[in-house]
Amino acid sequence: MKTETDFQLKVIAFCCKWCSSAAADLAGTSRMKMLPNFTIIPTMCSSRVDPELILKAFERGAWGVLVAGCHPGDCHYQNGNYKTQRRIFLLRKLLSDFGIEPDRLRLEWISASEGAKFAQVVNEFIERVDELGPLKD
């Protein structure tokens, strides 16, 4: 699946435009090897990531959603990432009610210097959702 060019396995990675996007860029400048199945959608802060956006991604057929933000204390809007954390925690609990495995939603704090971590998190996450397979309708 992952090797086909019209890959079905799709992971959406919401990244705040500060730390986590910078980490994604650094993964690129460091020429990390990454699976092609992820797409970054930037937001100003991870706290912009509405549960509605995440559910929409699953509804549309994303196999997994990663939300990445700055480390606790590093958010560029005071404490947006704490709010994100609370929201994702609650949403993960709710997902099973929709028949979605909570593992398909992942939250990570990734700093601008953690390009390698970004690559590793994304690759591992893709492997994990690959094990879970496509969403059941």
Partner 1 sequence: MAERIGVFVCKCGPNIGDRIDVDSVVAEAEGIEDVVTAKSHNLLCSEDGIRFLQEEIRKGGLTRVVIAACTPKQYEQKFMRACEGVGLNPYLLQMTNIREQCAWVTPDPAQATAKAKSLVRAATMRATLQEPIEKKEIEIHPDVLVVGSGVAGLEATLTLAQKGRKVYLLEKSPCIGGLGARFEEVYQTMECAPCMLAPELQEVLQKENIEAITYGELEGVVGSYGNFTVKIRRKARYVSEEACIGCSACFEPCPVEVSNEFDEGLSKRKAIYIPFAGALPNVPVIDEANCIKLKGGECNACQEACPFDAIDFDDQDRIEEKRVGAIILATGSTQFNPSSLAQYGYGRFDNVLTGLELERLNASNGPTGGKILLKDGREPRSVAFVYCVGRKEKGHCSGICCMYSVKLAHLLKEKIPGVEVYSFYTDLCLPKKEHQRLYEEVVEKGVEFIRSNGSERVSRDGKGLVVEYKADSTSKSLAVDMVVLAPAIEPNPDTAKLAAILDIPLDERGFFSEEHPLMKSFGTPLEGVFIAGCCQGPKDIGDAVAQGGAAAGRILSRLIPGEKLELEPIVAVIDEEICGGCNTCISICPYSAISRDEEKKVAVVDDTLCRGCGTCVAACPTGAARAKHFTNEEIFAEIREVVR
- Residue 46 found at the interface with ligand FES (CB under 6 A): yes
CB proximity list for 121: less than 8 A, separation 6 or greater: 66, 68, 106, 108, 110
Distance CA 113, CA 73 (A): 16
22 binds, among partner 1, ligand FES, none (CB under 5 to 8 A by kind): partner 1
- Residue 81 found at the interface with ligand FES (CB under 6 A): yes
- Residue 82 found at the interface with ligand FES (CB under 6 A): no
Q: Sketch the per residue contact string, 15 through 34, with partner 1: x for CB under 8 A, - otherwise.
A: ------xx-xxxxxx-xxxx
Encoded tokens for 26: 């650094």
Pick the closest to residue 80 from 20, 26, 35, 123 (CA basis): 20
DSSP for 31-59, please give it.
T----TTEEEEEESSGGG--HHHHHHHHH
Distance CA 85, CA 115 (A): 21
From 38-46, 90-98, 100-108, 124-132, give the range in contact with partner 1 by CB under 8 A.
38-46
Of 76 and 128, the one with the shorter C-beta distance to ligand FES is 76
Give residue 38's Cα distance to chain centre. 9
Residues that bind partner 1 (CB under 8 A): 5-7, 10, 12, 21-22, 24-29, 31-34, 36, 39-45, 47-53, 56-57, 60-62, 76-80, 83, 87, 119
Residues that bind ligand FES (CB under 6 A): 16, 18-19, 45-47, 69-70, 75-77, 80-81
